[in-house]
């Protein structure tokens, strides 16, 4: 699906919502299952209170207690956005959850006047690199030894936001 054409929300089994403190437990489960060195609960709590940060969740709508299926964490600085973290529960991967989260963000970027989006991705994370490439991100640099847990390099990726009201 093209990043500028969002799937109808009524056709999905989940909603995209902003994270609340009550969501941290579900988010932490995904974080711990997804990354060799997961962020701490405290770091996510700080993101909740930062005026530069937004965390969006893909949250199941078919349960009494909505379950977090995936999340994306962003920073906004002037006319730039930085994708800090994107992850889905292992049971929800390859089901367009990450794609929908990115689509949501690109609509937000356009509405907020964001002109540039940056991210770092592990060199070995081919699935994430393919997703970002699908969204028009291009590699622009390399951060050697960026990931302290493995000393793996990070590929810096960039995309301009083209928004036409």
Catalytic residues: 120, 132
Nearest to 128 by CA among 97, 87, 92, 67: 87
Nearest to 54 by CA among 18, 22, 17: 18
CA atoms within 13 A on the CB side of 126: 0
């Amino acid at each position: 699906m093209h990043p500028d054409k969002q799937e109808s929300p009524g056709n999905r089994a989940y909603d995209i919502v902003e994270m609340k403190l009550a969501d941290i437990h579900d988010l932490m489960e995904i974080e711990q299952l997804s990354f060799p060195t997961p962020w701490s609960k405290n770091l996510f709590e700080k993101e909740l209170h930062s005026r530069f940060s937004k965390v969006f969740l893909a949250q199941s709508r078919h349960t009494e207690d909505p379950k977090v299926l995936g999340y994306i964490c962003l920073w906004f600085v002037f006319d730039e956005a930085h994708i800090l973290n994107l992850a889905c529960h292992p049971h929800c991967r390859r089901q367009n959850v990450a794609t929908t989260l990115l689509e949501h963000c690109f609509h937000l970027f356009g509405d907020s006047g964001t002109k540039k989006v940056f991210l770092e991705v592990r060199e070995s994370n081919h699935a994430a690199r393919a997703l970002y490439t699908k969204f028009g991100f291009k590699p622009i640099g390399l951060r050697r030894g960026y990931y302290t847990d493995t000393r793996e390099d990070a590929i810096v990726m960039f995309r301009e936001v083209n928004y036409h009201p």
